Copies of this chain bind each other. A is one copy, B any other.
């Protein structure tokens, strides 16, 4: 797991861009989210933020994309950092889901307790939890991300694409169903509609690969972020374990097997991966495989893991 004898990172990333920038028609885009069907499909970016303070990047690493479910890592960290009583873990489990990422079935069988914080029902509970502190949970998340990313000369920084959020909200029947279902089981405190709105706005945050890598770096350095501790060392480890077992929808096992790193993907085509003690990696390419994970992104991370020896196993 040491990178001492790894090849220099800059050229490796450039080579990955050359190898994996998608040119073909392979992969799909989310049918139900119009604004995710827009970006040119040959976009491909990768960035690595190291614990020593360096940032390497290549390809379209400075183009903002919709982080979608990658936001779930950040909302989980924020919820845990404020959860002194540990009450969050009575409302959501930490086990792999073993079914498609939206499924209501599991929720029925488990009486309204989502299997983990990364399936949609679990993320709604986390958002509901965040709303206790301030009703505009999405604004909280944006502030957190901006703090982690830091000042960037002349750059925009993370922002919520409110137009995309409104569009996505209008096709959020399934998430509304989940929220009302959680409510039926007594596992949602705020109104279902308000929770789904916050959730969709968090998912509509736009960030670049460089920004996501920087924002995720606290998970590679025992919970310490750009402005001090985000979570404790112990919580940082635990978020990593949840990413590894639940971070890639129904392909968590396959990703752990091929890449060997904790990761979290979004249907916007981004993936955040963590090398504990070393770095945070963000790769982005819009086309998805059948499980909803970036096709070229997954391949590039497997390639990177092979070249650098980065793996937690």
Give the bracket for the number of chain A residues in contact with chain B: 35 or more
Interface string of A247-281 (1 = CB under 8 A from B): 00011111011001010000000000000110000
A12 at the interface (CB under 8 A from B): no
Chain A 56-99 residues near chain B, CB threshold 8 A:
93-99
Contacts of A45 in B (CB 8 A): none
A166 at the interface (CB under 8 A from B): no
A189 at the interface (CB under 8 A from B): no
A196: nearest residue on chain B (CB-CB)?
A: B180
Q: How far is the CA of A173 from the CA of B112 in the complex (A)?
A: 12
Known contacts A99-B98, A192-B173, A311-B237; A256 and B245 CB within 8 A of each other? yes
A236 CB to nearest chain B CB (Å)? 8
A226 at the interface (CB under 8 A from B): no
A163 at the interface (CB under 8 A from B): no
A255 CB to nearest chain B CB (Å)? 9
Contacts of A192 in B (CB 8 A): 173, 176
Query: Contact at B174–A253, with CB atoms within 8 Å?
Result: no
Contacts of A256 in B (CB 8 A): 241-242, 244-245
Query: Contact at B180–A173, with CB atoms within 8 Å?
Result: yes
Q: Which of A96, A97, A99, A103 has the most CB of B within 10 A?
A: A96
Q: How far is the CA of A108 from the CA of B106 in the complex (A)?
A: 11
Within the complex, which residue of B1, B252, B312 is in contact with A96, where a contact is CB–CB below 8 Å? B252
Interface string of A187-220 (1 = CB under 8 A from B): 0000010000000000000000000000000000
A7 CB to nearest chain B CB (Å)? 18
Query: Contact at A94–B253, with CB atoms within 8 Å?
Result: yes
Contacts of A174 in B (CB 8 A): 180-181, 184
Known contacts A238-B313, A276-B1; A254 and B94 CB within 8 A of each other? yes
